[in-house]
Amino acid sequence: MDLFFLSMLLLLLVSLPLSLGFLLFRPKSQLPGNLPPGKMGLPFIGESLEFLSTGRKGYPEKFIYDRMAKYSSQVFKTSILGESAAVFCGTACNKFLFSNENKLVISWWPNAVNKIFPSSLQTSSKEEAKKMRSMLPGFLKPEALQRYIGIMDGIAQRHFDSNWDNKQEVIVFPLAKRFTFWLACRLFMSIEDPDHVAKFADPFNVIASGIISIPIDLPGTPFNRAIKASKFIRKELLVIIKQRKMDLADNRASPTQDILSHMLLARDGEGQYMNELDIADKILGLLIGGHDTASAAITFVVKYLAELPEVYNEVYKEQMEIAKSKAPGELLNWEDIQKMRYSWNVACEVMRLAPPLQGSFREAITDFVYSGFSIPKGWKLYWSANSTHRNPECFPEPENFDPSRFEGNGPAPYTYVPFGGGPRMCPGKEYARLEILVFMHNVVKRFKWEKLLKNEKIIVDPMPMPAKGLPVSLYPHKA
């Protein structure tokens, strides 16, 4: 029997007595309106099976759209990942959630995240995130990132030299991961050596699947594997952190050379430095946040460019104009990135149709009423990119690939949300833009390609990915 279903069965057996007790004795809500319409599903497991399995079958939007049609196009209740939840759908709901951070809601990550990153249990996730965000702007703001574009281009060239050139076929997804991971190791921690990078890479792949999973810590479950992988990586990171501390003390490292130095030297409001384990967890979080998401985006860019030759041709034209304007050996710079307008519109359209993160959670910090429905304090609120990205009211003919949607002012506010919104919007958005564009520049400059599997299935677990990793045959441009 599939391990996933075996664990669900075990969980059901363990949780049944507890859940029956809860059903019989739970306190009545004091809120004025009714709870949103919807179904809570089985005790504890709720509708997690459908929520996760529609993703694994490649249609994460089905969970949302089936219930929007059945219950309400705005908000429906469910129970997922062991939590009572309301799913907020559509533009007005996105606006409501993103504008009420710290007033009615706060950002919330599934319990699995706290177990996989245990040091975040020391304080509330709100405080952790605040700490994290205070570290990031210095490093991730557009002005600071400008000086890393050349480094990104240099790494991209080395990546293509050694992994793509002289190959007739490649599998894109693992290579996209290798590229984004190498960049992150270099820019976050100044790790240059590809062998050192490779040592880290595998356990990372295990962590992502464990984050959005049922938190059952039994041998073999995705959750259990993720906890083990995170312990391994944290140990490795601690070695690097200790070394950097010594290097900073001996002036062998610069205070601004990467995010690790920034974190080691930053103090909180009380003048305290962050402890090493905390830093290891923060870096781990960034590597996870910045690695799988961007590699999913890159893989789908390659997929759509293979399927849409006219879009490929336009991207190629734009990138070759930039390439031709450069002196031999000259690396990409900020001005070049500004010229990649069409390419970025293409990447945006890719992330509309295949958002790397399907959505994220908030938690109600007080009882409130939304659109006539009561939302009890403590409920989890899930917003989903697909509820607007594939909604014909927000994007006419939503299944059509049309980069011109992003021309001019682009989509209406709160409709296009691959990076979330409000104060918790992804702080790595600009970094992701640069790495995706640098990749696009290098791949179209060297190759045209064709998909080897015409109807490769897409799995969403939790990021979207082609089931076989997107094998393609490569056709290098003639020099």
- The answer to the question of whether 426 is labelled as a binding residue is yes
Q: Does 426 bind ligand HEM (CB under 6 A)?
A: yes
Query: Which x/- pattern over 246-285 shows residues binding ligand HEM (rule: CB under 6 A)?
Result: ---------------------------------------x
Beta carbons of 289 and 133 less than 8 angstroms apart: no
Six token digits for residue 46: 């709720």
Which region among 167-175, 219-227, 264-272, 428-436 touches ligand HEM (by CB under 6 A)? 428-436
Q: What is the x/- site pattern for ligand HEM, positions 56-95, by CB under 6 A?
A: ----------------------------------------
Q: Which of 198, 412, 425, 467 binds ligand HEM (CB under 6 A)?
A: 425
Of 318, 314, 321, 287, nearest to 431 by C-alpha is 287
CA distances from 82 to 44, 188, 282, 303 (A): 5, 34, 26, 35
Please pick, from the candidates 181, 406, 431, 449, the single residue that binds ligand HEM as defined by CB under 6 A.
431
Residue 360 in contact with ligand HEM, rule: CB under 6 A: yes
129 binds ligand HEM (CB under 6 A): yes
Subset of residues 140 to 179 that bind ligand HEM, contact rule: CB under 6 A: 140
SS3 360: strand
Question: For residue 34, what are its two tokens?
Answer: 């009714």
How distant, in Å, are the alpha carbons of 277, 416, 439, 460 from that of 354?
34, 12, 18, 10
**Judged by CB under 6 A, does residue 432 bind ligand HEM?**
yes
Query: Whose Cβ is closer to ligand HEM: residue 429's or residue 457's?
Result: 429
Long-range contacts of 117-121 (CB under 8 A, 24+ apart): 117/230, 117/281, 117/284, 117/285, 118/281, 119/277, 119/278, 119/280, 119/281, 120/281
Using CB under 6 A as the binding rule, whether residue 357 contacts ligand HEM is answered as yes
Nearer to ligand HEM, 360 or 374 (CB): 360
Q: Is 76 helix (H, G, I), strand (E, B) or coil?
A: strand
Q: How many helices (H) and strands (E) does the chain have?
A: 19, 12
Burial of 272 (0-12, 13-18, 19+ CB in 10 A): exposed
Residues paired with 473 in a beta bridge: 169, 450
Candidates 419, 439, 447, 449; binder of ligand HEM (CB under 6 A) is 419
Assess 441 for contact with ligand HEM (CB under 6 A).
Answer: no
Q: How many residues bind ligand HEM (CB under 6 A)?
A: 26
- Out of 75, 237, 280, 294, the residue judged to bind ligand HEM by CB under 6 A: 294
* Residue type (1 letter), 427: P
Q: Which is nearer to ligand HEM, 82 or 420 (CB)?
A: 420
Which positions make up the binding site for heme? 426
Residues engaged in binding ligand HEM (CB under 6 A): 107, 129, 132-133, 140, 285-286, 289-290, 293-294, 297, 356-357, 360, 418-421, 424-428, 431-432
